[in-house]
Amino acid sequence: MIRLEPRNEVSKGLLYVTPVIAIGVTILAGVVMFAVLGKDPIRAISIIFLEPLTDSFAISEMIVKATPLILIAIGLSFGFRAGVWNIGAEGQFTVGALSGGAVALALYEVEGFWVLPLMCLAGALGGMAWAAIPAFLRTRFNANEILVSLMLTYVAVLLLSVLVYGPLKDPEGLNFPESRMFHPAATLPILIEETRAHVGFLVALAVAAVAWVVLGRHIFGYQVKVMGQSPRAAGFGGFVEKRVVWMCLMISGGLAGLAGLFEAAGPVGQLVPALPVGYGFTAIIVTFLGRLNPIGILLAGFVMALTYIGGETAQIEMNLPSAVTGVFQGMFLFSLLGFDVLARYRIRMFRTARTAPLAVQTAVGE
């Protein structure tokens, strides 16, 4: 008989080891899955998980994909610690791209060092505004932020689509539903020549560093932890739930909005209906895989980016559907959540020792 026993102390070591185990198990599950699909499993795994690491262009693309994931995930990690479940980062990402992009389009051909910072500000504010809706509805009307923020994602994607079909459509274009390309002054400087890796990545690194300090050394980080683990104790400590809810949603909304603007003003360079590609959802996995910890999220962001790049390569080389990426990401999260039990509980094997014969109670009990 197997029994779980809570540990006196969450095992710090296992907390770091379990994500690695989870990745290993996911790869094993992937082998099985590819075998079932009739694809060469070893080749598929090596294309997805190894080849991108040996190719410098692929690495730069990983930076491109990891940047929004890290930014969004760090924002989400505050809320997830506090029990504020912002599931609509995808929507905030979209609105951030939209509002920042609108600034770029409005100031088209205006040159000035301040254009880009203004766009960033608009992007972050757009994301915050979108996140303010669930924040307001939860704090004022007690409405579940999971459902509200998620519903708003669908609305945001439709909003983007309607605007690029209409007011933001490229006036010189061929009536395609897309905005014009942003002016060079309104696009992000490139980090590495000849690639799409942009300075947004440096921002993501800086945000991770700040988040690390705030979580470990600032009262807000402490507040967020207490609120998530024990709301009543938070009240005893003098922390106000509504304020924490607002702060968490503003941080995650703002960072998601910024990530959206970076995407529009970076690798994409314009507003198109297909701009939201699911970073907001994948970032949820990144957040958990990174253990809600900024440094962990940096690493997890790269692992997830790897599955994107690898998935794309596998799509081209082995004719695997791009959905493979989603399956892997889901399996990651499953196995991580499953193995977490090791860090929180001790697993004990028991031999059921009963001196009294088992048959007795059934015999007499009936």
Sign of CA dihedral 287, 289, 293, 294: negative
Stretch that binds other proteins, among 4-12, 17-25, 117-125, 245-253 (CB under 8 A): 4-12
Task: Tell me the CA end-to-end span of the chain in Å, nearest whole number.
Answer: 26
What x/- string results for residues 158 through 187 when contact with other proteins is judged by CB under 8 A? Answer: xx-xx--xx---------------------
Stretch that binds other proteins, among 102-110, 113-121, 186-194, 351-359 (CB under 8 A): 351-359
CA distance 267 to 340: 36
Q: How far is the CB of 72 from other proteins (least distance, A)?
A: 14
CA distance 29 to 46: 14
CA distance 125 to 141: 23
Stretch that binds other proteins, among 114-122, 124-132, 204-212, 339-347 (CB under 8 A): 339-347
Kindly state whether residue 15 participates in binding other proteins, applying the rule CB under 8 A: no
Q: Tokens 């905005």, residue?
A: 179
Q: How far is the CB of 34 from other proteins (least distance, A)?
A: 11
Considering only residues 223 to 282 of the shown chain, the ones binding other proteins according to CB under 8 A are: 225-226, 229-230, 232-233, 235-238, 240, 281-282
Kindly state whether residue 328 participates in binding other proteins, applying the rule CB under 8 A: yes
Work out the burial of residue 184: count CB atoms within 10 Å of its CB; fewer than 13 is exposed, 13-18 middle, 19 or more buried. exposed
Stretch that binds other proteins, among 14-22, 103-111, 123-131, 219-227 (CB under 8 A): 219-227
Considering only residues 72 to 91 of the shown chain, the ones binding other proteins according to CB under 8 A are: 80, 85, 87
- How many residues are listed for the chain in this entry? 366
134-154 CB burial, b ≥16 within 10 A, e <16 = bbebbbeeeeebeebbbebbe
Binding-site member from 155, 185, 190, 205 for other proteins (CB under 8 A): 155
Measured CA distances, 169 to 115, 187, 220, 297 (Å): 20, 18, 42, 36
Kindly state whether residue 323 participates in binding other proteins, applying the rule CB under 8 A: yes
